[in-house]
């Protein structure tokens, strides 16, 4: 039987056989490093194959210890206050409360002991253990059980919230079918996608999603790329074009030749990137973790002080009363709300960005994007489409256009620049009969080669200046990108090539200005072209005719003004500039593996308008994180004072701990629901 997934035009799965899977990010520090309540890790690996009923059962299992404890506690309270049976007293009553405590208390006590064994003495587990066992010691059994019960329920909700955030991101990205249909000697057969060999021909029916990267063998095909770019508009591919795992075939049956192994597909790399994103901690997150390590032992010693110091100053000192206050103080001071909700806030921001086709390589870059004051951008491929077309060819008298064009086409075949592609499209296939020797690319200038013993130069006019070739035109009088040609030390002529400004480029600059962010364009292209594009888009500053080292100097000048800088490029090939900038943003991440590996932020669909969206997501994430910090500190500070003064009971302590944690979690996960 063929188990295939079908999708509608928006990428929604029509026949659901794949479950929501909860996973832990590989190689990254887990958001929750403990088992919730029951003492078991209920997370699953991405490929565990559990069905919906199993996942649902595991969620019920999460609450089972708390449910047992709750039933026993409510029964005990009822017998204490309403039913009052004669046998419910002394050791029976104590034993009943102990039994109701164990399902939720034992896992926490176990975690506390494991932490102590590892040298992590002052943990939230130890705080809860001391507080609840202390409550039993002073015979406050119901409150001791209730504190641990609510704590356990809070931990379960935290676990589910983190799991939901992770599985939401996974649902956005890891939508590869497990099986593919391949053609073998003209016959189709279904195999596991992981078993497909490079070179195999995949048959993709309308509505099916591709499981591997490949190139289109059919003459043409339309694909929905929403899983990769967030853009549901069909993308038409021609024979030989790259088709990526996760794309959905829209109409006719398509044949694709596999070019990449399943585990090395672009989608696999993107998924791995997002799964590992939380390994890069934001400064706020790192501060809170360090703060918790210092804060927790301080409150333990303060609690001891609250219990014992009044003995020397209070005339009618009652140990049990001051011990109770100290225990309340311990419960209130538990840093759960901070330690859990802040990483979850950043993970929510990463998830929201992924849904918008923006990949952050770490939560630290969310913070960095929020603080960006100046965006420095490349021109070609970033603000322009990078699709050049030859406009005209002007040669000096005495030169044969066809012969010169063959030479130019041959030398440009050694370059991957979009200009070379434009020349190849204009001139046709490279004439292999043309012989060139010693082809050399001169950074920021162009290409040099030897043709029949004569030096051939093809590039910008700076290349001609470098080799002292005289020319009789003013390059600045030409608006378009110009390719100068020289042969045997003589100026042959030039070609003009035009690029197209991206449809959302002007909107991008407007949105950046609304955010109070400056925009500067740096390009190796001629100054007149750069000035023209900058004027059309409303860019603040623009500089052309720049060599790579010139770009570095310009960025240094901007950073000298104490402005945080983001650099945006279409291939992140300006490595020195990327190293200097606070955030490196890559356009067109789907086109380059190196881009995904090098950039801090990857915009998947080539749209510059995603730059201000990335900044807004960073700002909103930071805002939510700070709200959580403020809420936790204010509530805890108030209840701590009340607890130390004997005005707050364990019930207020529970709200200050678990209640604040749940509110902070709800605030954090709403980032994923926001529209940017």
What does the alpha-carbon distance between residue 435 and residue 210 come to, in Å, rounded to a whole number?
A: 42
What does the alpha-carbon distance between residue 533 and residue 613 come to, in Å, rounded to a whole number?
A: 22
What does the alpha-carbon distance between residue 567 and residue 129 come to, in Å, rounded to a whole number?
A: 50
| Three-state SS letters, 1-64 | CCCCCEECCCCCECCCCCCCCCCCCCCCCCCCCCCCCCCCCCCCCCCCCCCHHHHHHHHHHHHH
The DSSP-derived string for 207-247 is TBB--S-EEE-SSEEEEE-HHHHS--S-EEEETT-EE-TT-
The DSSP-derived string for 431-483 is -TT---EEEEEETTTEEEEEETTEEEEEE-HHHHHHTT---SS-GGG--SEEE
Are the CB atoms for 480 and 391 separated by under 8 Å? yes
Number of Cβ within 10 Å of residue 559's Cβ equals 16
* Structure token digits, residue 265: 């597909």
What does the alpha-carbon distance between residue 248 and residue 262 come to, in Å, rounded to a whole number?
A: 17
Look at phi and psi of residue 599 and say left if phi exceeds 0, alpha if psi is from -120 to 50, else beta.
Answer: beta
- Residues 378, 545, 606, 657: which is the catalytic one? 378
What does the alpha-carbon distance between residue 437 and residue 16 come to, in Å, rounded to a whole number?
A: 59
List CB contacts of 143: < 8 A, sequence separation 6 or more. Answer: 135, 649, 650, 651
Report which of 128, 134, 101, 98 is spatially closest to residue 112, judged by C-alpha positions.
128
378 belongs to the catalytic site: yes
Report which of 576, 584, 671 is spatially closest to residue 628, judged by C-alpha positions.
671
What does the alpha-carbon distance between residue 20 and residue 472 come to, in Å, rounded to a whole number?
A: 68
* Structure token digits, residue 31: 């958001």
What does the alpha-carbon distance between residue 469 and residue 467 come to, in Å, rounded to a whole number?
A: 6
Residue 400: DSSP 8-state: -
Helix (H) or strand (E) holding 191: strand 187-192
* Structure token digits, residue 140: 């406050």
| Three-state SS letters, 607-623 | CCCHHHHHHHHHHHHHH
Report which of 411, 367, 379, 327 is spatially closest to residue 134, judged by C-alpha positions.
327
Count the alpha carbons within 13 Å of 407 in the hemisphere toward its beta carbon.
26
What does the alpha-carbon distance between residue 418 and residue 491 come to, in Å, rounded to a whole number?
A: 24
Count the alpha carbons within 13 Å of 654 in the hemisphere toward its beta carbon.
18
List CB contacts of 204: < 8 A, sequence separation 6 or more. Answer: 181, 210, 249, 253, 254, 255, 256
* Chain centroid offset of residue 658 CA: 29
Which active-site residues does the annotation give?
Answer: 378
């Amino acid at each position: 039987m063929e188990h295939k997934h079908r999708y509608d035009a928006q990428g929604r799965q029509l026949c659901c056989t794949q479950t929501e899977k909860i996973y832990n990010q590989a190689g990254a520090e887990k958001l929750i490093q403990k088992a919730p309540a029951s003492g078991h890790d209920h997370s699953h690996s991405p490929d565990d194959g559990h069905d919906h009923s199993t996942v649902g059962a595991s969620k019920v299992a999460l609450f089972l210890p708390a449910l047992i404890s709750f039933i026993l506690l409510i029964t005990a309270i009822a017998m204490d206050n309403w039913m009052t049976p004669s046998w419910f007293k002394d050791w029976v009553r104590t034993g009943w409360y102990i039994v109701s405590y164990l399902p939720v208390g034992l896992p926490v006590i176990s975690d506390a002991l494991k932490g102590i064994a590892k040298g992590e003495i002052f943990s939230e587990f130890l705080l809860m253990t001391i507080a609840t066992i202390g409550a039993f010691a002073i015979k406050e059994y119901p409150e001791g059980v209730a504190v641990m019960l609510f704590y356990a329920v809070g931990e379960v909700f935290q676990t589910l919230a983190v799991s939901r955030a992770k599985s939401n991101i996974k649902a956005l990205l890891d939508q590869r079918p497990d099986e593919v249909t391949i053609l073998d000697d003209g016959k189709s057969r279904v195999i596991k996608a992981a078993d497909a060999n490079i070179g195999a021909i995949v048959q993709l029916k309308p509505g099916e999603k591709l499981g591997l990267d490949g190139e289109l063998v059919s003459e043409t095909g339309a694909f929905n790329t929403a899983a990769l770019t967030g853009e549901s508009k069909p993308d038409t591919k021609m024979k030989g074009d790259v088709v990526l795992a996760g794309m959905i075939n829209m109409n006719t049956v398509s044949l694709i030749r596999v070019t990449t192994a399943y585990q090395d597909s672009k989608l696999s790399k993107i998924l791995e990137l997002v799964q590992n994103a939380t390994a890069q901690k934001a400064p706020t997150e790192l501060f809170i973790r360090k703060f918790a390590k210092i804060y927790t032992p301080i409150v333990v010693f303060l609690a001891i002080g609250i219990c014992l110091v009044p003995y020397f100053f209070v005339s009618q000192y009652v140990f049990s009363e001051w011990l109770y206050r100290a225990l309340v103080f311990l419960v209130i001071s538990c840093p759960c709300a901070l330690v859990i909700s802040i990483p979850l806030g950043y993970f929510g921001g990463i998830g929201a960005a992924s849904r918008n086709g923006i990949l952050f390589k770490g939560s630290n870059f969310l913070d960095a994007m929020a603080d960006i004051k100046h965006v420095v951008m490349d021109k070609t491929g970033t603000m322009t489409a990078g699709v050049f077309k030859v406009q005209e060819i002007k040669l000096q008298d005495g030169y044969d256009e066809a012969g010169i064009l063959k030479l130019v086409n041959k030398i440009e075949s050694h370059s991957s620049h979009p200009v070379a592609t434009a020349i190849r499209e204009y001139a046709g296939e490279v004439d292999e009969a043309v012989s060139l020797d010693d082809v050399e690319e001169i950074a920021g200038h162009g290409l040099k080669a030897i043709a029949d013993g004569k030096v051939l130069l093809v590039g910008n006019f700076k290349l001609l200046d470098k080799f002292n070739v005289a020319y009789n035109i003013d390059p600045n009088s030409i608006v378009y990108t110009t390719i100068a040609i020289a042969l045997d030390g003589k100026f042959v002529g030039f070609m003009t090539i035009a690029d197209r400004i991206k449809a959302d480029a002007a909107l991008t600059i407007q949105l950046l200005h609304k955010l109070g962010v400056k925009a500067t364009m740096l390009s190796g292209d001629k100054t007149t072209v750069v000035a023209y594009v900058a004027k059309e888009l409303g860019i603040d500053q623009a500089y052309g005719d720049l060599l790579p080292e010139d770009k570095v100097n310009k960025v240094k000048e901007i950073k000298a003004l104490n402005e945080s800088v983001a650099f945006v490029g279409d291939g992140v090939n300006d490595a020195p500039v990327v190293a200097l900038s606070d955030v490196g943003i890559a356009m067109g991440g789907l086109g380059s593996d190196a881009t995904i590996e090098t950039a801090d932020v990857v915009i998947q669909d080539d749209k510059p308008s995603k730059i201000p969206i990335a900044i807004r997501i960073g700002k909103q994430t930071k805002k939510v994180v700070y709200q959580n910090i403020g809420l936790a500190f204010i509530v805890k500070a108030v209840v701590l004072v009340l607890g130390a003064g004997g005005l707050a009971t364990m019930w207020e302590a529970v709200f200050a701990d678990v209640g604040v944690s749940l509110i902070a979690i709800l605030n954090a996960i709403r980032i994923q629901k926001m529209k940017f």
